[in-house]
Structure 1
Amino acid sequence: MPSFSPDPQWISAAVETPMMAVLAWMLHSLRRSIAQSPDALPPAAPCQPGSDPAQQHAALERTRDDLAAFKLEVARTYVPLSLIRDVDGRLTAHLIRIEQKLDEATRAAHSTAAQMRVLAEDR
């Protein structure tokens, strides 16, 4: 009768084989669920049959307000104030440049319009 020696390679193969099978099964099920069309998926939150559309709209507005408050809380809590000031400074600088370009374009348009009026009067 042949004896079996507990070689480390045999032990690792015995442990890795079931793990690889589970990993392959997980990948297969993930690919299958991704390949499913959105129509085949169950609805996420079905509407209640007796609910009023106005109540649903109010609930949606409350959810949006709660989400906006949460986003603001995350921004306050997790973003350093120096980064917010930096972004604010860059945004302000960009807006000032845009405003200057608009002012230049407005002045040029007024100048052109005035020149056109002068030319029209000369004729």
Structure 2
Amino acid sequence: MIGQFAIDLMWWLSMVELPALGGLFWLIQHQRDRQEQNLQQMQAEHRAAIGATRAALSDFKLDVAQRYASIAHLKDVETRLTEHLLRIEAKLGQPVRL
């Protein structure tokens, strides 16, 4: 009886358990490789997206610098306009000579 049980156990291990464990090992290894590939692909896409975002941001900064006046420039223009309007007002305040 013990001999038959040992043979049945050995048969079960060699015919069922070992191939099943080998298949599970292969499945786990294959899944790990796929996850590593997916991770590398996502990292590459992430780097590309960051590069594109940085390029878009630098383009936007350049566009803002070209299109919009700086505060210092606006204050300079305001000062010159105010001075010119004050000169015109002073001239209008003088009596007209014929």
**What TM bracket, shorter-length normalisation?**
0.3 to 0.5
More helix by share: 2
Higher Rg: 2
- After TM superposition, the score normalised by the length of structure 1 is 0.36
- After TM superposition, the score normalised by the length of structure 2 is 0.44
